Structure 1
Amino acid sequence: MIKNYFFDFDKTLADSGGVSISATKEAFKVMGFAVPETNVILGYMGIPAEISFKKMARESLSETQIQKLTDTFRTIYQKVEMKSTKLYPNIVSMLTSLKKANKNIFIVSSKKTDAVERNLNNLKIISFFQDIVGFDKVKNYKPAPDGILLLLSKYDLVKDESLMIGDAKYDIQMGKAVGIKTCGALWGAFDVNGLANERPTYLIDQPMELVTLE
């Protein structure tokens, strides 16, 4: 039986892809770098900006330039996130059902922890989550297993009772690295084939399907 649910945030619980794309393009433009194409940006969603920006940049960027670029991105992102980030349909119903069933619900995200908390507060769903782990709380980012391992240890959770849910291949890779069940969330996925090719334990079309998994 599944008792512990580890959720990705962006494009799994909330549709924030448009914000990330526009903020990324604007940040590259402001910094005077070649602006990445939309598909390139979407392909790297699911890993921290510190890593993805270096990979999507056409120029060879120094660590200082990467830091300035990510700082610029986050400043731009924060200005527009409230009006542009929306929950997917039935997310609240799904979380409510899990909470009523006394499940443990967590978030493991590639965002900074305070940014995820801000988003959850704005969307009025933070009360559902027992704990939140952003990339700043671990040494190694997705798809490394550090975020889940931290929570398993902190709350003395059983691997066989745990499930990682996400829209990107990095989420599935992380769950597999830990040795827990995995679930691909198709409703927000950009690369459906890439997600399916990771062969998650479950592949679902609607959030409420999570409530029926065992």
Structure 2
Amino acid sequence: MRNALLLLSSLLLPGLAHAQAEALENPGTVSAVQERQYRMNHELTLGVGVLPADAFYKGVLGSVGYTYHFSDSFAWQVGRGSYSYNLKTSLREQLERDFDVAPTNAAFEEQVQWMVGSDLVWSPIYGKMAISNRSVVHFTGFLLGGATVMKLSRSDGFRPAVNLGVGVRVFTSRNVSFRLDVTNNTVFVGGTRLIQVPTFQLSTAFNFGATE
């Protein structure tokens, strides 16, 4: 009996010792979330964009805005303003030329001249990616929503709107980043009639007072 116990111990002890050593070397799976390398604080944006959707004109936008960032995830775009330089489409030119449609036709006059507004911004996504294993790009994805006042080209053309959109920001340094905003303003024209004004804007953002 004693010999049997000794034999069993000699077989089990090496295996137990090996298992303990592996447990010490690999105590378990550990996941770590890396801190953001770039943080925003006071943001000034200068951008250009387009109003692509209307069949009778296309707008070229020049924009400026200021955003205050409360944290990595939440910000308030305190103010934004855009001016639209509008160009006739070939469809409008054809209607005016071939069918004598007056340039003062109501369908032609609901053009955005400028807009101002304010939004709340939520940035739930932050990440980085390697490009050709030579450089690392840091980026964020965000959602925004707020209110807009638009000046349409008609004489009584001040109109309220609800603005919703998505965007992405790419950092180049602590102080400079580039952001792409894709938004849509639902404009209350009168009564129950609504028009949709989508925008695409690319902006350079200058960041002040943030840490890296």
TM-score band (shorter)? under 0.3
User: Normalised by the size of structure 2, how large is the TM-score?
Assistant: 0.24
User: Normalised by the size of structure 1, how large is the TM-score?
Assistant: 0.24
Q: Which structure is higher in strand share? A: 2
* Greater C-alpha Rg: 2
Q: Which structure is higher in RCO with an 8 Å CA cutoff and minimum separation 6?
A: 1
